[in-house]
């Protein structure tokens, strides 16, 4: 029992807090935090475990969002199937491009991802205009059928659904961290040669983690698509690629709670600041530089040792 | 295909390629010597454009504007180098990339405060058309190409004929060994950053009559400039020249065939090149020290 | 803090992040000496040289040169002062000619007098216009040492000078070292024990980041079995 609390205490606290947030703060705000947290978890894994930074995350977000949107607009009306189609879309995309991308060095990887999001933007806006309706986007809010249990068309039900998806993905990443796979991911980041020596295939590990991380990103995209009932190419705007990078670092790179903390602070800050300052870039930019110069630990990375101390004091010497 | 259309397309492609070259060469040198990816160069590009616009509006001379733009862009880059980069040269490439992206975003925010959100048009300083191989082409575009050629020759002479340039070339191979010879590499870093910033400013200023000056111009430029740097190979000057020529032509000739191609074809080519050679055309396996 | 010698290293501790590499290392180097540091791979020899020459910053301890505390000074300043480090990778600037390689060193130290240096390495005179990338391993090592000798450095720190070189070139190098020692103090990290016993005045065996002992007697250096010490 004690072990259970030690292992899961943090997450129980975190998600309880989230439910409190849900009670005291407006629903759209809470939903945004959750989806953004999923979005961030993908990059957090990529950067924190593999050391790959990507400025092209909107591309994967769009892959999920547009797969869902196209299904709901042209083929069906069940949002649950739409959701699965979105995840599948992300998975297929990452499995196809993964072998090319993971061979690249980390700096090229970042730039090529950026390029990918630009290609996506042009494809969605211009090249496939017949299907995506270009800048007008696709509207299908009214086409979504309601389901008897957890109707995703209703914000409250959608919140519950998103809440459990977030929890599920969080548990998945926590589980991965403990497996040999998680360890070998970290090893690809820190010491490639040693890993080769041990007989693990770098390439396969990277390919799998790349697909996993960005399928999670696509999942976030799919949730956005269902939540808004509308999608336009602006999701892939290259200028927006910074958001997720900022949140990942803001929360604390490579930590499990980082994405949750980061999304919460970022979404809150954005709501507060945008009332006062109209030019959001200035704030994000300075925030980013400050986080990096302060030692890239982020909020969670900074408070975690403090929390440990408090916990130690409360539980006595047991640790 | 119409020959005149083809020739004017090629000139168009060369002139955009020239702008890309001015931006990419600084990035490439910075990567080669300091092993940093300096996305903030795109900020100096935007600053160059806005300063050119402002001086043109108040004094009425585009060329003085261009000169001031270069000086201001270089000065801002110097300040950023002293404030931020000095502390992070030793860090990983991804680290400098994220930090420089933060600088770029903050800079875009400041630009919005100073100049507002409205895109500003800059009239071309030269409206004359000249006849080239029986085709009328805008003289201004030809001048842009000539300036880029002039800059390339200057950089080549600097790197190959001066002792400081040789030290930079040696530093691209191994900066630590240059330091071991008693040469202050940190001064070389500052100088290279300054040159890169100035050239980005020049590129921004020269670009103004061809586009609209707006706060997001630097962000919109990122993919194209980085495509040039990636295709050429990070750290290679020759590669940067060749790839800016390629990208310029692919964009302009692509537009002749099918309009959306002009934006997508270069990226497709980049991905193809990276499948064949993951370090770009002339990129060597330069690793973080 | 002792500062009797030309170069004194006092209780030096060096770490790479969390991993400690040197533990309380102290050595003393006097004028007209050839000092060898021997030890297995990973014993901390290269770390010691790199710390003395300013490429690594120690956690604690000090380096005193000519009664001046030089701990933590940037490598280029130390190189100007005459503490030159020759790394073991034998890489000269491959895109630059031999002449340009030497020019850069002259630029760094302000010493443009190449006569003496090329006197040690007559072979380089013929290679001045060749690019560094096309030289043989032995020739590269010559360029590296010639480059380091410009500025008449009082202290030359050479990392594994003979590693991977043909025996006749090793013999040439030993002769050159014997001539250089008249002007400079040589500190050599070496695995080749015949080289060590041939030229050293003092030997510091290193093991696991520590100096194990100090051997100053010429006869003892020739006869001692290092295998037992390391």
Confidence band of C136 (pLDDT split at 50, 70, 90): confident
From A143-147, A184-188, A261-265, A315-319, the region with the lowest mean pLDDT:
A315-319
The C-alpha of B90 sits at a distance from chain A's nearest C-alpha, in angstroms, of: 12
CB of C100 within 8 Å of a chain B CB? The answer is yes
CA-CA-CA-CA torsion for B42, B43, B49, B50, nearest 10 degrees? 160
Q: Residue C159 contacts by C-beta under 8 Å, 6 or more apart in sequence?
A: C45, C46, C49, C85, C86, C87, C88, C189
Q: What is the mean pLDDT of residues A174-178?
A: 79
- The answer to whether residue C166 scores a pLDDT higher than 70 is yes
Residues of B whose CB is below 8 A from A118? 223, 263, 267
pLDDT number for residue A40: 87
pLDDT number for residue A319: 39
CA-CA-CA-CA torsion for C64, C67, C70, C75, nearest 10 degrees? -90
* Structural domain boundaries enclosing A127: 2-315
d(CA A179, CA A200): 14
d(CA A116, CA A210): 15
Site of tokens 């430029």: B221
d(CA B268, CA B262): 11
Q: What b/e readout covers B52-81, taking b as 16+ CB neighbours within 10 angstroms?
A: bbbbbeeeeebeebbbbbbebbbbbbbebb
Site of tokens 């699965």: A84
Whether residues C75 and B184 touch (CB distance < 8 A) is answered with: no
Find the helix or strand (DSSP H, E) in which C21 lies.
strand C19-29
Bridge partner residues of C63 (DSSP): C9
Q: Most confidently modeled of A110-114, A197-201, C20-24?
A: C20-24
Find the helix or strand (DSSP H, E) in which A272 lies.
helix A258-276
Nearest alpha-carbon partner for A172 in A229, A215, A141? A215
Number of folded domains in chain A?
1
Whether residues A288 and B271 touch (CB distance < 8 A) is answered with: no
CB atoms within 10 A of CB C83: 26
Q: SS3 of C182, please?
A: coil
From C78-82, C157-161, C210-214, C219-223, the region with the lowest mean pLDDT:
C219-223
Q: What is the mean pLDDT of residues A83-89?
A: 90
Q: Which residues of A touch B (CB under 8 A)?
A: 47, 51-53, 55, 100, 103-108, 110-112, 114-116, 118-119, 122-123, 126-127, 238-239, 242, 245, 249, 279-289, 292-293, 296
Q: SS3 of A254, please?
A: coil
Pairing of strands A138-139, A230-231: antiparallel
The C-alpha of B180 sits at a distance from chain C's nearest C-alpha, in angstroms, of: 6
Nearest alpha-carbon partner for A31 in A209, A189, A224? A224
d(CA A117, CA A222): 17
Please tell me which of the candidates B169, B182, B186 has its beta carbon nearest to residue C108: B182
When the candidates are 1.10.357, 3.30.420, 1.10.3470, 3.90.320, the CATH number that belongs to B3-276 is 1.10.3470
d(CA C135, CA C149): 19
pLDDT number for residue A196: 52
Site of tokens 């964009």: B251
Q: Most confidently modeled of A57-66, A118-127, A249-258, B125-134?
A: A57-66
Q: What are phi and psi of B155, to 5 degrees?
A: -65, -40
Task: Kindly report the length of chain A.
Answer: 319
Compare all CA atoms of chain B with the CA of C133 and give the residue at the minimum distance: B173
d(CA B232, CA B215): 28
The answer to whether A89 and A66 have CB atoms below 8 angstroms apart is yes
Q: Most confidently modeled of A67-76, A233-242, B254-263, B274-283?
A: A67-76
Nearest alpha-carbon partner for B278 in A160, A99, A296? A99
Q: What is the mean pLDDT of residues A54-70?
A: 88
Output the furthest CA–CA distance in chain B (Å, rounded): 60
- The answer to whether residue A180 scores a pLDDT higher than 60 is yes
Nearest alpha-carbon partner for B262 in B270, B250, B272? B250
Bridge partner residues of C20 (DSSP): C15
Site of tokens 């496939």: A128
Give whole-number Cα distances, B170 to B165, B183, C151, in Å: 9, 11, 19
Whether residues B177 and C91 touch (CB distance < 8 A) is answered with: yes
- The answer to whether residue A311 scores a pLDDT higher than 90 is no
d(CA C98, CA C113): 15
What does the block give as tokens for C68?
Answer: 């001046």
Q: What b/e readout covers C147-182, taking b as 16+ CB neighbours within 10 angstroms?
A: bbbbbebbbbbbbbbbbebeeebbebbbebbeebbe
d(CA A252, CA A248): 6
pLDDT number for residue A146: 75
More confident position, A127 or A230: A230
d(CA B100, CA B102): 5
Average pLDDT per block of 10 residues along chain B, 289 residues long? 81 92 90 85 94 91 92 93 84 82 88 86 84 84 93 92 91 87 90 94 92 86 84 83 90 80 77 77 56
The answer to whether C94 and C132 have CB atoms below 8 angstroms apart is yes
Nearest alpha-carbon partner for A109 in A181, A207, A246? A207
Cα Rg, chain B, nearest whole Å: 19
Q: What is the DSSP letter of A145?
A: P
Work out the burial of residue A15: count CB atoms within 10 Å of its CB; fewer than 13 is exposed, 13-18 middle, 19 or more buried.
Answer: middle
pLDDT number for residue B131: 83
pLDDT number for residue A263: 82
Q: What angle do CA A157, A147, A77 make, to 5 degrees?
A: 110
More confident position, A130 or B206: B206
Q: Most confidently modeled of A193-202, B91-100, C56-65?
A: C56-65
Nearest alpha-carbon partner for B148 in B160, B140, B137? B140
d(CA A129, CA C87): 60
Residues of B whose CB is below 8 A from C85? 180
Q: Most confidently modeled of A98-112, A229-243, B225-239?
A: B225-239
Residues of B whose CB is below 8 A from C87? 177, 180
Q: What are phi and psi of C42, to 5 degrees?
A: 85, 5
- The answer to whether residue C55 scores a pLDDT higher than 80 is yes
d(CA A173, CA A189): 17
Q: What is the mean pLDDT of residues A200-211?
A: 78
* Mean pLDDT for all residues in chain C: 84
Q: Most confidently modeled of A164-168, C18-22, C225-229?
A: A164-168
Cα Rg, chain C, nearest whole Å: 17
The C-alpha of B13 sits at a distance from chain A's nearest C-alpha, in angstroms, of: 20
Nearest alpha-carbon partner for A100 in B271, B268, B280, B286? B271
CB atoms within 10 A of CB A17: 12
Q: What are phi and psi of B131, to 5 degrees?
A: -95, 120
- Give, to the nearest 10 degrees, the angle between helix A27-50 and helix A202-228: 170
Work out the burial of residue B209: count CB atoms within 10 Å of its CB; fewer than 13 is exposed, 13-18 middle, 19 or more buried.
Answer: buried
Whether residues A292 and B102 touch (CB distance < 8 A) is answered with: yes
Q: What is the mean pLDDT of residues C108-113?
A: 84
- The answer to whether residue A306 scores a pLDDT higher than 80 is no
d(CA B65, CA B78): 20
The string of DSSP codes covering C148-161 is HHTT--SEEEEEST
What does the block give as tokens for A95?
Answer: 């499995």
Q: What are phi and psi of C8, to 5 degrees?
A: -120, 130
pLDDT number for residue A152: 73
pLDDT number for residue A318: 45
Q: Hey, CA dihedral for C60, C65, C68, C73, is it positive or negative? A: negative
What does the block give as tokens for A227?
Answer: 């939540």
The C-alpha of C204 sits at a distance from chain B's nearest C-alpha, in angstroms, of: 24
Pairing of strands B212-213, B120-121: antiparallel
Confidence band of A105 (pLDDT split at 50, 70, 90): confident
Q: What is the CATH number of the domain that holds A259?
A: 1.10.3470
- Its pTM stands at 0.84
Residue C164 region by backbone torsions, left for phi larger than 0, else alpha for psi between -120 and 50, else beta: left
Residues of B whose CB is below 8 A from C75? 176, 179-180
Q: Most confidently modeled of A63-77, A225-239, B186-200?
A: B186-200
């Amino acid at each position: 029992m004690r072990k259970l609390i030690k292992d899961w205490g943090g997450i129980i606290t975190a998600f309880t807090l989230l439910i409190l947030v849900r009670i005291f703060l407006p629903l759209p705000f809470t939903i945004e935090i959750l989806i953004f947290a999923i979005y961030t978890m993908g990059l957090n894994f990529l950067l924190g475990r593999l050391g790959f930074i990507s400025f092209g995350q909107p591309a994967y977000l769009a892959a999920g969002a547009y797969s869902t949107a196209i299904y709901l607009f042209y083929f069906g009306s069940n949002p649950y199937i739409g959701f699965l189609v979105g995840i599948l879309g992300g998975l297929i995309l990452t499995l196809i491009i993964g072998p090319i991308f993971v061979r690249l060095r980390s700096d090229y990887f970042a730039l090529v991802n950026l390029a990918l999001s630009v290609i996506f933007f042009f494809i969605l806006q211009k090249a496939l205009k017949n299907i995506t309706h270009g800048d007008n986007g696709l509207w299908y809010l009214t086409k979504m059928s309601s389901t008897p249990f957890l109707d995703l068309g209703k914000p409250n039900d959608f919140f519950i659904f998103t809440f459990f998806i977030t929890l599920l993905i969080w548990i998945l990443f926590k589980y991965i961290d403990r497996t040999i796979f998680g360890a070998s991911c970290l090893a690809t980041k820190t010491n490639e040669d040693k890993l080769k020596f041990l007989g693990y295939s770098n390439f396969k590990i990277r390919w799998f983690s790349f697909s996993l991380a960005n399928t999670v990103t696509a999942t976030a995209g799919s949730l956005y698509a269902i939540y808004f009932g509308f999608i336009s190419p602006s999701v892939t705007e290259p200028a927006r690629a910074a958001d997720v990078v900022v949140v990942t670092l803001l929360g604390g790179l490579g930590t499990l709670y980082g994405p949750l903390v980061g999304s919460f602070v970022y979404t809150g800050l954005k709501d507060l600041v945008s009332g006062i300052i109209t030019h959001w870039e200035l704030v994000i930019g300075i925030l980013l530089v400050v986080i990096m110069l302060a030692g890239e630990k982020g909020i969670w990375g900074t408070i975690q040792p403090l929390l440990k101390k408090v916990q130690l004091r409360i539980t006595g010497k047991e640790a | 295909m119409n020959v005149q259309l083809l020739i004017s397309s090629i000139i168009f492609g060369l002139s955009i390629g020239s702008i890309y070259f001015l931006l990419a060469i600084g990035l490439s040198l910075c990567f080669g010597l300091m092993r940093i990816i300096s996305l903030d160069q795109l900020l100096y590009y935007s600053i160059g454009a806005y300063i050119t616009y402002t001086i043109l509006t108040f004094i009425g001379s585009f060329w003085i504007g261009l000169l001031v733009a270069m000086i201001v862009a270089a000065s801002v880059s110097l300040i950023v180098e002293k404030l931020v980069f000095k502390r992070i040269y030793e860090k990983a490439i991804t680290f400098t990339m994220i930090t420089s992206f933060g600088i770029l975003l903050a800079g875009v925010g400041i630009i919005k405060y100073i100049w507002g959100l409205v895109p500003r048009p800059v009239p071309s300083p030269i409206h004359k058309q000249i006849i080239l191989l029986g085709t009328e082409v805008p003289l201004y575009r030809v001048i842009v190409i000539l300036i880029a050629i002039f800059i390339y020759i200057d950089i080549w002479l600097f790197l190959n004929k001066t002792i400081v340039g040789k030290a930079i070339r040696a530093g691209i191979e191994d900066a630590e060994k240059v330091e071991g010879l008693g040469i202050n590499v940190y001064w070389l870093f500052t100088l290279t950053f300054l040159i890169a910033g100035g050239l980005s400013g020049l590129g921004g200023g020269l670009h103004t009559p061809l586009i609209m000056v707006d706060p997001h111009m630097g962000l919109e430029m990122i993919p194209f400039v980085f495509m040039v740097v990636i295709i050429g190979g990070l750290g290679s000057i020759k590669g940067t020249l060749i790839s800016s020529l390629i990208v310029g032509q692919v964009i302009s000739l692509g537009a002749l065939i099918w309009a959306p191609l002009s934006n997508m074809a270069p990226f497709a080519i980049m991905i193809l090149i990276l499948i064949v050679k993951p370090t770009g055309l002339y990129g060597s396996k330069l690793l973080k020290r | 803090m002792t500062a009797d010698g030309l170069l004194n290293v006092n209780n030096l501790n060096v770490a790479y992040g969390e991993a400690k590499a040197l533990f309380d290392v102290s050595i003393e180097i006097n004028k007209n000496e050839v000092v060898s540091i021997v030890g297995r791979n990973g014993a901390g020899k290269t770390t010691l040289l790199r710390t003395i020459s300013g490429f690594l910053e120690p956690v604690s301890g000090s380096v005193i040169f000519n009664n001046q505390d030089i701990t933590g000074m940037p490598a280029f300043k130390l190189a100007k002062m005459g503490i030159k480090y020759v790394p073991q990778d034998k890489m000269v600037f491959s895109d630059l000619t031999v002449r340009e390689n030497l020019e850069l060193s002259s630029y760094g130290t302000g010493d443009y007098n190449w006569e003496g240096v090329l006197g040690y390495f007559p072979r380089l005179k013929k290679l001045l216009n060749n690019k560094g990338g096309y030289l043989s391993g032995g020739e590269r090592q010559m360029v590296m040492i010639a480059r380091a000798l410009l500025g008449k450095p009082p202290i030359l720190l050479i990392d594994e000078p003979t590693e991977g070189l043909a025996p006749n070139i090793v013999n040439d190098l030993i002769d050159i070292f014997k001539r250089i020692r008249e002007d400079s103090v040589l500190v050599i990290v070496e695995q080749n024990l015949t080289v060590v016993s041939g030229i050293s005045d003092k030997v510091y065996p290193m093991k696991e980041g520590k100096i194990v002992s100090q051997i100053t007697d010429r006869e003892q250096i020739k006869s001692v079995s290092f295998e037992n010490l390391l």
